[in-house]
């Protein structure tokens, strides 16, 4: 059974998982995803430290997502005897600081005001990276959970 990108739309995730566990064949696998703690946060945290910018909002987001992910995995563990994490990497390439800054603002929409206040500093840093490296490659992961009875 596959429920990729479905869990966030459910009103009662636990009830859904109970039902999946009940109907899953003994040798079957259930694959889903939910909360994801991406290495992209670590990339931006390191970049902000190099720029001398505040990183607290990134730390808070990572901690919040990690708590939610841990709780979700614990819930999976209530219904399945084996739960395996599977990460799939996705590389995004940028050769324009404006596009990368836009992506940053979308990724951290809750801190957009802060990012806009620091826009010139951030773009200067990104432009320097692009000049030195030709492009910036950001790697993000999607994490899936394979669950077995």
**pLDDT tens for the 149 residues of the chain, in order:** 999 999 999 999 999 999 999 999 999 999 999 977 788 999 999 999 999 999 999 999 999 999 999 999 999 999 999 999 999 999 999 999 999 999 999 999 999 999 999 999 999 999 999 999 999 999 988 899 999 99
CA–CA separation, 136 and 3 (whole Å):
32
* pTM, two decimal places: 0.83
What SS3 class is residue 89? strand
Residues counted in the chain:
149
Q: In Å, how far from its chain's centre is CA 69? A: 10
């Amino acid at each position: 059974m596959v429920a990729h990108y479905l869990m966030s739309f459910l009103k009662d995730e636990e009830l859904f998982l109970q039902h999946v566990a009940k109907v899953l064949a003994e040798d079957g696998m259930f694959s889903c995803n939910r909360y994801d703690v991406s290495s992209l946060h670590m990339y931006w945290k390191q970049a902000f430290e190099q720029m001398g910018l505040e990183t607290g909002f990134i730390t808070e987001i990572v901690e919040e997502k990690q708590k939610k992910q841990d709780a979700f995995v614990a819930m999976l563990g209530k219904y399945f005897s084996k739960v395996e994490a599977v990460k799939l990497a996705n590389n995004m390439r940028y050769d324009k600081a404006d596009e990368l800054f836009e992506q940053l603002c979308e990724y951290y929409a809750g801190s957009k005001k802060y990012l806009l206040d620091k826009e010139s500093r951030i773009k200067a840093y990104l432009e320097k990276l692009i000049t030195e490296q030709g492009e910036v490659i950001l790697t993000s992961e999607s994490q899936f959970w394979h669950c077995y009875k």
